[in-house]
A and B are shown apart, each in its own frame.
Chain A
């Protein structure tokens, strides 16, 4: 946790190809049990949205032929500045670090699941029973990780607690980027310090019109999306400005 930083991410929807690499990478580095998805790739209309399904299935475009549009909205914890999950947690097990990362203390959570009800983005998962894994050995970051002494990651999930995306706090604190950012084959994820006006994420947010999902709720996520269709992909050159 370097001083004065606020980690943020911008996901470029015109670059995302909907390949689910980030979601699978997330499962792997975090040794997520079967049925758990901290990160999922939603099929979305061209601008970040919560509620305009084109169909019940992934990869189905919105609109009517020939006016079709298709975009992807990879969705994990949005690391909200005014996070409802932090507010409702009765024991302070969910907390927000000074650098903006929202984490869960696996040793303090009482498993009341109030945070699941409170999160608008549906990104929290609960350990209903003993975790089942596809592999017999832990994969990914296979160690416990403590932040300020609090257990915020463990490969062997305790039963009865809540978990979600940690923005790879263990990697951040070691000076690395989150694993999904590193693994994205389309370069759709940009990560950096939102408090630094010169950082790429700040520029994308301040000058290029990156948007928040469910902005109207005032949760103020530190994860942003750049609407698809912003670039003219036919000749590969990026348009300047924030037009869509």
Chain B
């Protein structure tokens, strides 16, 4: 995607310059993230805001978010084939591209979280099959391979006249259950833990699947709108209607599931379960995530997507999609941190923090967590890497496949030629 606004057909050079600026920005952010990670390697995880009570933070939040992003794309692509949603077909390839990019970033996101990244191959050398984390390693690797194969096949279909339609269909049938499994297993990392009442609910897997469809579709929508605006590719009206409907439905189901969880805890009023929720509900010290999830990422996108006049604007649909992603990210924070802040053991003096300050107690009841600049730089770098993957993939694979004489693509029209980049920045 380029960065430019209108009418670069008239100024292809300006468009190219903006693309280069965008690529340079992404490159800079990725380099900063990488540099910060190297710094973290020299210091250990003490340069993060994590400690023994809140022992997972921004990295795991972002990991879970990226896994979610990856699903949606593939679900969009597969739904087009499996349920024959014709109007989603133009977005198939873009969907699979975002899926591949997101799952790659999700896998990479784990590395800075490890205390011993040098031992990461132990996951392969000594897998302990009872651990949901090992299931997740397996399904992420599978999903990565699957998305890579699927993207290759889709690309072949679009570039050569040979009939790969059947292969595409078969892959779609495999893709859908694989995506559902990926999200369920990632949910079970949390949902199976008896030590964390906030996580320990059977709702976790359905919640992850739903929020994945939501955030993944939102990512595809944002990428497609950017492509439409900057690369002058036209995605048919009908497709937008399906996409915004998918966003609305998944957002409703997502908020419904979260609300079910809240209500179960509130009505039951078991202190151990209330503890985490109290921090998140309005008035609690973590209430920001509540507002981000329910208002910024809930009510606002719903209004934008359900008001016909607002929905007609692509920019507002893109905004709604972005806000929905913010909401899902907020939910990931609510989940990961909310599960950890209040340990079950609530007796004085609390839990050892694992760090020492001569003027402070070494124990706490309720963990605090503020990401440090190190965590922020690394997470921002990973988001830039994700955007870079999608940008490069888009340019290389002509993802919103332009119709050619030998191979017309249904529903896609190009308003003007896309300027080719002079060089591809990676």
- Which residues 343-383 in B have Cβ within 8 Å of A in the complex? 343-349, 351-356, 362-363, 365
A117 to B340, CA, bound (A): 7
User: With a CB–CB cut-off of 8 A, which chain B residues contact A125?
Assistant: 52, 352, 354
A109 to B355, CA, bound (A): 20
User: With a CB–CB cut-off of 8 A, which chain A residues contact B132?
Assistant: 88
A99 to B283, CA, bound (A): 49
Report the tally of A-B residue pairs with Cβ distances under 8 A: 183
Contact between A51 and B272 (Cβ–Cβ < 8 Å)? yes
Contact between A37 and B44 (Cβ–Cβ < 8 Å)? no
Please tell me which one of the listed residues B115, B128, B195, B353 contacts residue A90 in the complex, with CB atoms under 8 A apart. Answer: B128
B286 interface contact, C-beta 8 A: no
Contact between B44 and A92 (Cβ–Cβ < 8 Å)? no
A45 to B307, CA, bound (A): 57
Please tell me which one of the listed residues A37, A73, A113, A121 contacts residue B362 in the complex, with CB atoms under 8 A apart. Answer: A37
User: With a CB–CB cut-off of 8 A, which chain B residues contact A113?
Assistant: 55-56, 115
Contact between A122 and B114 (Cβ–Cβ < 8 Å)? no
Contact between B193 and A84 (Cβ–Cβ < 8 Å)? yes
Interface stretch of the complex, out of B79-87, B118-126, B390-398: B118-126
B113 interface contact, C-beta 8 A: yes
Least CB distance from B340 to A in Å reads 7
User: With a CB–CB cut-off of 8 A, which chain A residues contact B365?
Assistant: 53, 56
A138 interface contact, C-beta 8 A: no
Contact with B along A34-65 (1 / 0, CB 8 A): 11110010111000011111111110100000
Contact between B45 and A128 (Cβ–Cβ < 8 Å)? yes
Answer whether A51 and B356 are a contact pair too, CB < 8 Å, given A108-B122, A160-B44: no
Contact with A along B73-110 (1 / 0, CB 8 A): 00000000000000000000000000000000000001
Contact between B271 and A129 (Cβ–Cβ < 8 Å)? no
Contact between A129 and B46 (Cβ–Cβ < 8 Å)? yes
- Interface on chain B toward A: helix, strand, loop, or mixed SS? loop
User: With a CB–CB cut-off of 8 A, which chain B residues contact A73?
Assistant: 347
Least CB distance from A228 to B in Å reads 14
User: With a CB–CB cut-off of 8 A, which chain B residues contact A33?
Assistant: 356
Contact between B115 and A110 (Cβ–Cβ < 8 Å)? yes
Closest Cβ neighbor of B135 among chain A residues: A90
User: With a CB–CB cut-off of 8 A, which chain A residues contact B353?
Assistant: 35
A110 to B112, CA, bound (A): 12
A166 to B352, CA, bound (A): 17
Please tell me which one of the listed residues B116, B195, B196, B339 contacts residue A111 in the complex, with CB atoms under 8 A apart. Answer: B116
User: With a CB–CB cut-off of 8 A, which chain A residues contact B53?
Assistant: 122
Contact between A126 and B354 (Cβ–Cβ < 8 Å)? yes
Least CB distance from B32 to A in Å reads 22
Contact between A160 and B114 (Cβ–Cβ < 8 Å)? yes
Interface band, chain B: 35 or more
B234 interface contact, C-beta 8 A: no
Interface centre among A75, A112, A121, A125 (most CB of B within 10 A): A112
User: With a CB–CB cut-off of 8 A, which chain A residues contact B351?
Assistant: 122
Contact between A90 and B343 (Cβ–Cβ < 8 Å)? no
User: With a CB–CB cut-off of 8 A, which chain A residues contact B363?
Assistant: 37, 40
A84 to B365, CA, bound (A): 21
A101 to B177, CA, bound (A): 40
Please tell me which one of the listed residues A50, A92, A130 contacts residue B344 in the complex, with CB atoms under 8 A apart. Answer: A50
B131 interface contact, C-beta 8 A: yes
User: With a CB–CB cut-off of 8 A, which chain A residues contact B339?
Assistant: 117
Contact between A92 and B55 (Cβ–Cβ < 8 Å)? no
- Which residues 178-226 in A have Cβ within 8 Å of B in the complex? 214, 217-219
Closest Cβ neighbor of B195 among chain A residues: A120
**Which residues of B approach A to under 8 Å, CB–CB?**
43-48, 50-53, 55-56, 110, 113-117, 119-120, 122-123, 125-128, 130-134, 137, 189, 193-196, 271-272, 339-340, 343-349, 351-356, 362-363, 365
Contacts A53-B365, A109-B119 known; list 8 others, CB within 8 Å.
Answer: A40-B349, A43-B348, A57-B349, A114-B131, A128-B44, A130-B44, A160-B44, A160-B114
Q: What would 28 A/B residue contacts be, using CB atoms closer than 8 Å?
A: A35-B353, A37-B363, A49-B347, A51-B344, A73-B347, A75-B345, A87-B130, A88-B133, A88-B193, A91-B128, A92-B127, A93-B122, A108-B126, A110-B114, A110-B120, A111-B119, A113-B55, A113-B56, A117-B340, A122-B343, A122-B352, A124-B52, A126-B52, A128-B48, A132-B356, A160-B44, A160-B114, A160-B116
**Which residues of A approach B to under 8 Å, CB–CB?**
33-37, 40, 42-44, 49-58, 60, 73, 75, 84, 87-93, 108-114, 116-122, 124-130, 132, 158-162, 214, 217-219
